[in-house]
Structure 1
Amino acid sequence: MVIFDSVQKKKVPFEPVRDKEARVYVCGPTVYDDAHLGHARSAIAFDLLRRTLVALGYKVTFARNFTDIDDKIIKKHLATGEPIASITARYTERYLADMHALGVLDADISPRATSSLEAIVRMIEKLLENGCAYRSEDGTVWFDTAKDPDYCSLSHRCGDDEEALSRIEHEEGKRHPRDFALWKACKDEDVCYDSPFGRGRPGWHIECSAMIDAYLAYENEPYEIDIHGGGADLFFPHHENEAAQTRCATRRTLAKYWMHNGFVTIDGEKMSKSLGNSFFVKDALKVYDGEILRFYLLATHYRANFNFNEEDLLASKKRLDKLYRLKKRLYGGKAGKPEKAFQEAVLEALADDLNISRALAAVDEMVAKANEHLDENPKDKGFKQSVMGNLAWIETVLGIGGKDAYKWFQMGISDEEIARIEDLIDARSVAKAAKDYETADAIRQELTDMGIQLMDTPQGTVWEKAE
């Protein structure tokens, strides 16, 4: 496999720390609000990476953290009076529900900051012991970037460019503007925890370094993990600071490779709450099925910036509809072994830094050729089983195509209309069982007049709204 390493800024062969094993850590959400499309884009991109590695034969251990103590969470707690634990539990649950709707697999390891305090404190103690951290008068513990000769070797953004400087917190007590807090001393209104440094709470950057070291890191290897991933906005300063902490605390390199997904924009503007155009996943799911959103977000290469607009989303759905029309054509059939050539074509594309365009082109070609063959050979049972195998394999690798083919084309119909249609279908079945074919035919015609197409299968009568 070849991946684009953000540090080397080029595609490189993926050579894991240990043969055929891949340990992957992706920065998860800060759980103070609902998930937005930026969260969804990142989750889907690295879900595809995980599925691809598994399909290529790697033993994958995948971790995604939850930041459940943070200034934004405390602000919501102080504004509402709701306990921190209640806020973070609610938004963690909502995040996971949204990701499930998008077909994102659960992480193997899901550490939380509040349950990792011992690991965080241990790492800070190491940094103080080796002189890479210091305490200011108010008791805050700072990482001393001047003590790390390799600081900024990750992002190469230690110049004085305005954008880089704007991403650094400006606080009193620091020796150098780029130093950052490892442990924030308690303020009167803060939520605090006991530690050897006094009451306070962890800084954001230390959380991920400590979690990786505690829950995921290889033992006795120069690299702690194989791949660290996240959104492009995290590269500096968050990932830069993570790498520095681990390097100075453990004398090891945090990750062998770094991967970052592109930004999400909405009709051309970078998604940002300050711009008032943040698009929550929960709102999108009220209008579109999760698989439609997944396919739309998946179909653009993960490193490219993504411009979300509904016109493109609807066009993407039509492409996905073709796969479901093929599946509907094979309704009730059993899946056999997928075609080896088809698998190889898709995996060859995905092994090239997740080249989703080539992978989906291979899927499109398979769908078109399958339909052509079935037009000429409608009773080719072996071929049908092979195609069903292809579709089942696509679901495993791409996370699409797993829904009932007929229900897919029933989306967008109101519950009341569905109930009426199914009542008529039940009445037709009763009439057929009583050999009252005149009534059965009349009901079928009524459904036809409503734009409903019926298909009697060994599994029962299925229906869809005609286009």
Structure 2
Amino acid sequence: MYIFDSVQKCKLLFEPLHDREVRIYVCGPTVYDDAHLGHARSAIAFDLLRRTLKALGYRVLFARNITDIDDKIIKKSLETGEPIETITARYTEHYLRDMEALGVLDADIAPRATESMEAIVAMIDRLLKSGCAYQSEDGTVWFDTSKDAEYCTLSHRCGDDDEAQSRIEHEEGKRHPRDFALWKACKERDVCYDSPFGRGRPGWHIECSAMIDETLAYKGEPYAIDIHGGGADLFFPHHENEAAQTRCATRQKLAKYWMHNGFVTIDGEKMSKSLGNSFFVKDALEVYDGEILRFYLLSAHYRANFNFNEEDLLASKRRLDRLYRLKKRIYGVKEGVPNADFQQEVLDALADDLNISRALAAIDERIASANERLDADPKNKALKKEAAADIAWLSQLLGIGGKDPFDYFRIGMSDEQIARIEALVAERNEAKKAKDFAKADALREELSQMGIQLMDTPQGTVWEKAE
């Protein structure tokens, strides 16, 4: 497999630290608000990476953290009067619910900052004792970037971003503009924990370094993990600072490969709460099914910036519809063996830095080919079994195509509509059993006038909205 490494800015042959084993850490959400499409894009991108590596035969250990102590969370608590624990529990639950709706697999390891305080304090203590950190008069502990000769070798952006970094860490007491807080001394109306260097709470950057070291890292090796991922906005300063902390505390490089997904924009504007155009996943899920959203967000290369708009989303849905039409056409057929050449073609595409465009083109061609062959030989069970197996394999690989096809084409219908239709279908079935074919035909016509088509199968009568 080849992946694009953000540090070297080129595609590299992926060679894991241990044969056929991959350890991945992806920065998760700060749970002070609901997840937006940027969170969804990142989660889906690295979910695809994880699924692809598994399909290629790797054993994958995947970690995604939850930041549940942070300035934004404290600010929200002060504004609303809600306890921090209530806020973080609610938005963690919402995040996990949204990810499930999008077909994102649960992390193997899901560390939380508040549950990792011992590891965080231990790493800060090591940095202080090694001289790579210092404590200012107010009790804040700072990372001393001048003590890390490799600082800024990750992102190569420090020269452009010194001013931004200085604004982020603007507090008095630090020695250099680039220095950043490891431990923030306790202030009035703050959340505080005990530590050898005084009461306070961790800075954002130290949390990930400590959680990786505690839960995922190979000990005593040149690199702690194989792959570190996240959104492009985290590359500097967050990932730069993580890498510096880990180098100085453990004498390890944090990750052998760094991967970053592109931004999400809405009609051309970068998503940002300050711009007031953040699009929450929960809002999108009220309008569109999670699998349709997943397929849309999956359809562009993970490194590309993604412009979210409804026109493209509907075009993406039509592409997904084709897969479900084929699945409907072979409804009730038991799976056979997937086509090996098709599998290889898709995996070869994804092994090229997750080249989703090539993979989807191969899938489109396979669907078209299956339909052509079934048109020529509609009763060929071997063709149907192979198509069913291909779709089942895609469901595991891409997280799409796993729904009942008739349920898929009912998406967007209300519970009341579905209940009314189910009642009419049941009434028609009873009429058929009673050999009242005139009534059965009349009910079929009534359903047809409602835009509903019926299909009598060995498994019973199924229905769908007319296309």
TM-score, structure 2 length as denominator? Answer: 0.99
Q: What is the aligned partner in structure 1 of residue 331 from structure 2?
A: 331
Q: What is the aligned partner in structure 2 of residue 108 from structure 1?
A: 108
Alignment of 1:1-400 (within 5 A): 1-161=1-161, 164-165=164-165, 168-400=168-400
1:220: Cα distance to partner?
A: 2.9
1:165: Cα distance to partner?
A: 4.0
Conservation of the 8 A alpha-carbon contact between 2:162 and 2:178? no
1:445: Cα distance to partner?
A: 1.0
Amino acid at match of 2:86: S
Q: What is the aligned partner in structure 2 of residue 418 from structure 1?
A: 418
Conservation of the 8 A alpha-carbon contact between 1:3 and 1:352? yes
Counterpart secondary structure, 2:255: strand
Conservation of the 8 A alpha-carbon contact between 1:157 and 1:164? no
Amino acid at match of 2:59: K
Please list the CA deviations of residues 348-383 of structure 1 after superposition, one character each: whole Å capped at 9, or x if unmatched.
000000000000001000000000000011111111
1:219: Cα distance to partner?
A: 2.5
Per the alignment, do residues 405 and 129 of structure 1 end up closer, same or farther by CA in structure 2, a change over 3 Å counting?
same
Amino acid at match of 1:49: L
After alignment, is 73-82 or 105-114 more displaced? 73-82
1:448: Cα distance to partner?
A: 1.1
Q: What is the rounded CA distance, in whole Å, between the counterparts of 1:420 and 1:348 in structure 2?
A: 47
Q: What is the rounded CA distance, in whole Å, between the counterparts of 1:49 and 1:184 in structure 2?
A: 35
Please list the CA deviations of residues 326-352 of structure 1 after superposition, one character each: whole Å capped at 9, or x if unmatched.
000011111111100000000000000
Per the alignment, do residues 121 and 162 of structure 1 end up closer, same or farther by CA in structure 2, a change over 3 Å counting?
closer
Conservation of the 8 A alpha-carbon contact between 1:167 and 1:236? no
1:384: Cα distance to partner?
A: 0.9
Please list the CA deviations of residues 276-334 of structure 1 after superposition, one character each: whole Å capped at 9, or x if unmatched.
10000000000000000000000000000000000100010000000000000011111
Q: What is the rounded CA distance, in whole Å, between the counterparts of 1:238 and 1:379 in structure 2?
A: 58
Please list the CA deviations of residues 86-131 of structure 1 after superposition, one character each: whole Å capped at 9, or x if unmatched.
1101100100000000000000000000000000011001000100
TM-score, structure 1 length as denominator? Answer: 0.99
Counterpart secondary structure, 2:337: coil
Counterpart secondary structure, 1:159: helix
Amino acid at match of 2:65: N
1:167: Cα distance to partner?
A: 6.5
Amino acid at match of 2:229: G
Q: What is the rounded CA distance, in whole Å, between the counterparts of 1:135 and 1:15 in structure 2?
A: 40
Conservation of the 8 A alpha-carbon contact between 1:164 and 1:236? no
Per the alignment, do residues 201 and 161 of structure 1 end up closer, same or farther by CA in structure 2, a change over 3 Å counting?
closer
Matched, 1:408 2:408: yes
Amino acid at match of 2:278: S
Q: Mind listing any 5+ residue stretches in structure 1 that lack a counterpart? A: none
Amino acid at match of 2:54: V
Amino acid at match of 1:124: I
Amino acid at match of 1:279: F
Amino acid at match of 1:355: N
Q: What is the rounded CA distance, in whole Å, between the counterparts of 2:47 and 2:417 in structure 1?
A: 36
Q: What is the rounded CA distance, in whole Å, between the counterparts of 1:32 and 1:164 in structure 2?
A: 23
Conservation of the 8 A alpha-carbon contact between 2:26 and 2:63? yes
Please list the CA deviations of residues 252-292 of structure 1 after superposition, one character each: whole Å capped at 9, or x if unmatched.
11000000000000000000011110000000000000000
Q: What is the aligned partner in structure 2 of residue 440 from structure 1?
A: 440
Q: What is the rounded CA distance, in whole Å, between the counterparts of 2:212 and 2:458 in structure 1?
A: 52
Please list the CA deviations of residues 384-425 of structure 1 after superposition, one character each: whole Å capped at 9, or x if unmatched.
111111000000001100111011111122222211111100
Q: What is the rounded CA distance, in whole Å, between the counterparts of 1:83 and 1:396 in structure 2?
A: 40
Counterpart secondary structure, 1:33: coil
1:162: Cα distance to partner?
A: 6.9
1:163: Cα distance to partner?
A: 7.1
Conservation of the 8 A alpha-carbon contact between 2:44 and 2:104? yes
Q: Mind listing any 5+ residue stretches in structure 2 that lack a counterpart? A: none
Q: What is the rounded CA distance, in whole Å, between the counterparts of 2:149 and 2:257 in structure 1?
A: 20
Conservation of the 8 A alpha-carbon contact between 1:167 and 1:237? no
Amino acid at match of 1:423: A
Counterpart secondary structure, 1:357: helix
Amino acid at match of 1:376: A
Counterpart secondary structure, 1:183: strand
Conservation of the 8 A alpha-carbon contact between 1:158 and 1:164? no
Q: What is the rounded CA distance, in whole Å, between the counterparts of 1:450 and 1:351 in structure 2?
A: 46
Q: What is the aligned partner in structure 2 of residue 450 from structure 1?
A: 450
Q: What is the rounded CA distance, in whole Å, between the counterparts of 2:306 and 2:411 in structure 1?
A: 26
Q: What is the rounded CA distance, in whole Å, between the counterparts of 2:125 and 2:68 in structure 1?
A: 22
Conservation of the 8 A alpha-carbon contact between 2:143 and 2:179? yes
Conservation of the 8 A alpha-carbon contact between 1:2 and 1:13? yes
Q: What is the rounded CA distance, in whole Å, between the counterparts of 2:54 and 2:158 in structure 1?
A: 37
After alignment, is 287-296 or 444-453 more displaced? 444-453
Q: What is the rounded CA distance, in whole Å, between the counterparts of 2:251 and 2:344 in structure 1?
A: 40
Q: What is the rounded CA distance, in whole Å, between the counterparts of 2:163 and 2:314 in structure 1?
A: 35
